[in-house]
Amino acid sequence: MTTVMVGLENLVYSELTEKGKEFSYGPVKPFAPACGAKVDTNTDSSTVYADNGPVIVLSSTGETKVTIETTEIPQDVLAFITGQKLVDGVIVWRQDAVPPYIALGFTGTKEDGNVRHVWLVKGRFSIPSTDWKTKEDKPDPQKETIDGTFVQRSDKVFKITGDSSVEGYEKYRDTFFKEVFDVKQLDNVESETSSKVSTTKTTGGAA
């Protein structure tokens, strides 16, 4: 059965701390009301020719560009993700500010009630752009847009997605955003499955 995405919600973030090959995340926090999210991962490919024909295709995955559209980014969130300081409602914007690395998560909703969960695990945001217009007789709501660049972690992971329409995902659906998803959970599942298969084969052989 084919379904389509019809919505976007639950935009969240978590601070990343990375030292060498070790990394950890802070608490998952609300980002901003989600109006739109565009995620574009750069991929390059090159074809190698030999014997008068193509024989090998080389490919590489690069950075992921993210554009978030929202009604308004809360000032405390905005100051944090851009590396600025917020004091008594005032942000003094400094050019030498260094944004922290964060993980960004969101939920895509489908027309059949299923969801697509997404974590982008390491990235930084730039200063947002905002359109300002004078108020007229007809309401014309203005939105805020912010761009980010996301890359791979030290373990080579750059994105994690889960889909509730796939059998087996139900055990992760309610906890996917309690923290940045730990991919080691999947390694444990594979190990348990392999162990069960091995045991079954051994038992069958003995019979």
Is residue 100 included in any domain, yes or no? yes
Q: Could you tell me if residue 78 is inside a domain?
A: yes
> Residue 112 is part of a domain; what is its CATH number?
2.30.110
- Report if residue 202 sits inside a domain: no
3-class SS string, the chain:
CCCCEEEEEEEEEEEEEEECCEEEECCCEECCCEEEEEEEEEEEEEEEEECCEEEEEEEEEEEEEEEEEECCCCHHHHHHHCCCCEECCEECCCCCCCCCCEEEEEEEEECCCCEEEEEEEEEEECCCEECCCCCCCCCCCCCEEEEEEECCCCCCCCEEEEECCCCCCHHHHCCCCCCCCCCHHHHHHHHHHHHHHHHHHHHHHHC
Number of compact structural domains in the chain? 1
Domain extent, residue 161, equals 5-48+57-180
Residue 87 lies in a domain: yes
**Per-residue pLDDT tens digits for 46-88:** 999 999 899 999 888 999 999 999 999 999 999 999 999 999 9
Can you give the pTM of this predicted structure? 0.84
